Amino acid sequence: MLIKMIEFLRIVGVGLAYYLGYQAGFADVYDPVAQLHIMIPLVVFFVAGTSGFEGLFLGKMAAEAKGFETESNYQKQSAFALLAMTFTALFVWVLNWGIHAELTILIMFLLFFILSAANHTKEAIQKHNFKFQNINRPFLVMLLLAGFFYPLIKLWPLL
């Protein structure tokens, strides 16, 4: 139940990040930098931060919910990587290092979760692991990408 609550928190958190980001981006003349400045740290916090917390402190429950092996040192390593990503995103945001640093965090974040989605898909196909927590990852990653598509396309010519 706790794992499902964290998953729900992730989805609501990302929805909030998109809402606040799109509000900031469309406040006056469209500003993709303002939009991404809100969205990137919040999305990274709600996805990578909660996943890192979950993997580190609730690892056995999280692995069982996804149909993965439990008590793996790689699970802890992955949790540490996710937390490092989260703290770096917050650090970059607090110090206001600018859009290029924020985009670097976003690219790393999205690549990690695209590869994670591929891993979850492989797990479903090869090992017939059709647990909801396993098969939802590719779809949730597609939604993550969709939410960032418009501001990234609009920002591209400005870089």
Could you read off the pLDDT of 82-96 as tens digits, one per residue?
999 999 999 999 999
pLDDT digit string (tens) for the chain, length 159 residues:
899 999 999 999 999 999 999 999 999 999 999 999 999 999 999 999 999 999 999 988 887 877 778 778 888 999 999 999 999 999 999 999 999 999 999 999 999 999 999 999 999 999 999 988 878 899 999 999 999 999 999 999 988
133 vs 120: CA distance, rounded Å = 9
* pTM, to two decimals: 0.93
**Angle value at C-alpha 82, between 142 and 37, nearest 5 degrees:** 65
Q: Is the Cα dihedral 74, 78, 80, 84 positive or negative?
A: positive
CA dihedral 120, 125, 126, 130 (to 10 degrees): 70
107-130: pLDDT as tens digits: 999 999 999 999 999 999 999 999
* Contacts of residue 74, Cβ cutoff 8 Å, sequence gap at least 6: none
Angle between helices 132-155 and 32-44 (to 10 degrees): 160
Q: Where are the domains of the chain?
A: 2-158
Q: What is the dihedral of CA 38, 111, 56, 132, to 10 degrees?
A: 100
